[in-house]
Amino acid sequence: MTEKKVPFSKEQIEEIIKKFPTPFHIYDEKAIVENAKRFKKAFEWAPNFKNYFAVKALPNPAIVKLLKNEGFGADCSSMAELLICDMVGITGDDIMFTSNETPEEEYQKAMEQKAVINLDDITHIDFLEKCAGLPETICFRYNPGPLKGGNDIIGKPEDAKYGLTKTQMIEAYKIMKSKGVKKFGMHTMVASNELNVDYFVETAVILFEMAAEIATEVGINLDFINLGGGIGIPYKPEQDEVNLEELGSKIKAKYDEILSSKGFQPEIYFECGRMITGPYGYLVTKAIHTKSIYKEYIGVDASMANLMRPGMYGSYHHVTVLGKENAEPVFTYDVVGSLCENCDKFAVDRKLPKIEIDDVLAIHDTGAHGHSMGFNYNGKLRSAELLLKADGTAEMIRRAETYEDLFATLKF
């Protein structure tokens, strides 16, 4: 079970709303830092362990810098994410550039930053060499196909557009070795928002065994293995969070058995985003309408444009009505936004305390793939992002969009 509590009181939020109108996303700085430290500690046994924060989860320079200060690198998949690294001073092998169907200019930018380039396809070897040259370090993304089951978000590996087959991996390393590349890494990412510890242990075993096979087949020892991301968070109260200490211990046992015992000591990386910041973000919104027809509706001033996961995936996000945390949840509501789409719902048939106009709702677990997946359908403006400081004050780390921003690209 996971206790779903907010790190602020109704009175605190009401003071913040006076300065920053709803809706907005707010992130708990202290909790994010503590969680980052815990993740590092669980893998302190691993040689030069590093988590490359998946910038796509929460692409805000203030957050990326906060995690840089904790020793995290940045996992990037686009030009914008590489540019955020420039903003906060992340360079070189603290950037892992993992992209697919990559344009020339993005490879060129990653090479300029001396980032670690993680290629998604064997044909990208020639493409990279022609458009940007080859780096001294190269990584390949492995798609294990039927060796590994996927999950709902990414799907089965053999149906996914990502990565190289086993045969292609062996050939790719041989090609890069012949071209004079000096350092090598391997990566995979086969699930998203997975809560089963053993799932990740199984993935590690596949990569560790593959590393040993590459050493035999190609004659290179991998310098690092990136176990990917995908560690999930308990969106529902009845779910348990991933036990990071158990995860670290189980992967260490397999590392020692498969690699260390044979003289291999590759560095171990992850690229987690969601489990670092996800539980510590909240979409704060205000009830502005009630509606009674065939169902009971609460209309709020946020919409799917602020948080698309429930509408896109049918995902559960817990809802707290501030000031009524201890009230009996005896009313059944759909909590909805104003988009011209019937899937614009944050909660469906949800048991909640009685909600009245101007009540403030906190929608949990929006610290990853929340604001970052926002959009402007119906001309909705993207909201502000705030950082909740340890003293209870809020710092704006992204201002809300204006109509001037929205229409700026039309004024040419």
Annotated active-site residue 343? The verdict is: no
309 is in an annotated binding site: yes
Q: Are 164 and 210 in contact (CB under 8 A)?
A: no
Cβ burial of 155 (10 Å; 0-12, 13-18, 19+) is: middle
pLDDT band at residue 148 under the 50/70/90 scheme: low
Dist CA 397 CA 142 (whole Å)? 36
398 is in an annotated binding site: no
**CATH fold for domain 29-277:** TIM Barrel (3.20.20)
Structure token pair of residue 174: 């041989």
162 is in an annotated binding site: no
Where are the strands (E) in 68-180, listed by range? 73-76, 95-98, 116-119, 137-141
Structure token pair of residue 173: 């390393």
Query: Does position 90 have pLDDT exceeding 90, yes or no?
Result: yes
385 is in an annotated binding site: no
Residues 393-412: pLDDT tens digits? 999 999 999 999 999 999 98
Residues 42-83: pLDDT tens digits? 999 999 999 999 999 999 999 999 999 999 999 999 999 999
Domain ranges of the chain: 10-25+279-410, 29-277
Query: Does position 18 have pLDDT exceeding 70, yes or no?
Result: yes
Q: Are 235 and 243 in contact (CB under 8 A)?
A: no
What is residue 26's predicted lDDT score, i.e. its pLDDT? 98
Q: Are 274 and 55 in contact (CB under 8 A)?
A: no
What is residue 191's predicted lDDT score, i.e. its pLDDT? 85
Give the number of other CB atoms < 10 A from CB of residue 405. Answer: 13
What angle is formed at CA 54 by the lines to CA 229 and CA 130, rounded to 5 degrees? 100
382 is in an annotated binding site: no
DSSP-based three-state secondary structure for 27 = strand
Of the candidates 76, 131, 139, 340, the residue annotated as catalytic is: 340
pTM for this model (two decimals)? 0.95
pLDDT band at residue 295 under the 50/70/90 scheme: very high
Closest to 238 (Cα-Cα) out of 148, 352, 316, 132: 316
What is residue 150's predicted lDDT score, i.e. its pLDDT? 53
Give the number of other CB atoms < 10 A from CB of residue 342. Answer: 8
Dist CA 67 CA 144 (whole Å)? 31
DSSP-based three-state secondary structure for 128 = helix
Neighbour-count burial for 122-137, b at 16+ CB within 10 Å, e otherwise:
bebbeebeebbeebeb
Same CATH topology for 10-25+279-410 and 29-277?
Answer: no
Q: Which residues contact 387 (CB under 8 A, 6 or more apart)?
A: 26, 27, 29, 62, 63, 394, 395, 396, 397
Q: Are 360 and 1 in contact (CB under 8 A)?
A: no
Beta bridge partners of 54: 75
Phi, psi (rounded to 5 degrees) for 108:
-60, -40
Residues 207-238: pLDDT tens digits? 999 999 999 999 999 999 999 999 999 999 99
Dist CA 122 CA 369 (whole Å)? 29
What is residue 149's predicted lDDT score, i.e. its pLDDT? 58
Dist CA 30 CA 36 (whole Å)? 10
What CATH number does domain 10-25+279-410 carry, 3.30.300.130, 3.20.20.70, 2.40.37.10, 1.10.3720.10? 2.40.37.10
